[in-house]
Structures are given as C-alpha cells and as structure tokens.
C-alpha cells in the first residue's frame, strides 16, 4: 500500500505584488508565475515559512498578520525531491523547479483582516 507523500509549504513575502481586480483563481498562476520565479531566484529574500501547510488562522489578530501579500507554494515532497531540513538554497531551488515546470492543480487567494492589517496569501497547490 502506497502512502501519500507529505506536503511541504513554502511561503514568501511578496510585498510589491497587488491583486488585479477581476483576476480569477484560474488565472492566478499565469498572471503571477514570472513574479514567483523572480522571488524564488532572489537569494536575498528570506523564507517566511517552510514546513507543513499552515492553517492561516490568525483570527483577525494583527500581531499574527503581515500587512501585505504572500505567495504560498504547497508541494508534495515526492515532487520536490527534498526533505524538510534541506539547506535553504536547495529548498528554494526545488520549489523553483516546480514553479517553472508545472501548473498548479489549485490556486486561490486567502484574505485575513485584522483591525489594522490585511494579509493576502496567494496559494498555489501542486
């Protein structure tokens, strides 16, 4: 019996990304793929989160939110070919390979709003 590979989630801050009005979930990846590739190639950009898929449950608490936009890539370890504790440059390279060569099976925008902050997470599930 084959067990499913764990899914790793990589989240990057995408502070200069804005969502276009009327952009559908179906068009998110084609619209943002080049920006995602650019961010994954940026060695100076640190990883906001790497690990199991987060629940995005800040429950409106400003201290738990980023006031801006995040890209989140959810990919099975089998597809990535790395372990969670791989070196940071190998992690970004593995996710970059997926983003450059595959289309996600699911894309959406998750929005959480606190009293002062609004966090938008653009999710690509591969």
The tens-digit pLDDT sequence of the chain (126 residues) is: 456 788 999 999 887 888 888 899 999 999 999 999 999 999 887 777 787 877 666 566 667 777 889 999 999 999 999 887 888 888 889 999 999 999 999 999 998 888 888 889 999 999
Establish if 116 belongs to a structural domain: yes
What the block records as the tokens of 85 is 């504790």
Establish if 1 belongs to a structural domain: no
The CA radius of gyration of the chain, in Å to the nearest whole number, is 14
What the block records as the tokens of 31 is 């619209």
> Which pLDDT value is given to residue 94?
96
d(CA 35, CA 41): 10
Establish if 66 belongs to a structural domain: yes
Establish if 2 belongs to a structural domain: no
> Which pLDDT value is given to residue 72?
93
> Which pLDDT value is given to residue 19?
85
29 DSSP 8-state letter? H
Establish if 24 belongs to a structural domain: yes
Which structural domain, as residue segments, surrounds residue 42? 7-125
Establish if 22 belongs to a structural domain: yes
Domain count, the chain: 1
Establish if 42 belongs to a structural domain: yes
d(CA 21, CA 18): 9
């Amino acid at each position: 019996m084959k067990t499913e590979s764990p899914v790793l989630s990589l989240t990057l801050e995408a502070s200069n990304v804005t969502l276009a009005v009327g952009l559908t979930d179906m068009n998110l990846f084609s619209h943002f793929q080049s920006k995602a590739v650019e961010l994954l190639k940026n060695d100076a950009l640190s990883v906001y989160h790497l690990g199991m898929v987060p629940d995005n449950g800040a429950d409106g608490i400003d201290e738990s939110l980023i006031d801006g936009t995040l890209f989140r890539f959810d990919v099975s370890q089998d597809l990535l070919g790395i372990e969670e504790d791989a070196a940071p440059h190998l992690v970004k390279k593995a996710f970059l390979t997926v983003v450059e060569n595959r289309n996600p099976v699911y894309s959406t925008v998750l929005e959480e709003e606190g009293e002062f902050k609004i966090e938008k997470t653009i999710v690509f599930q591969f």
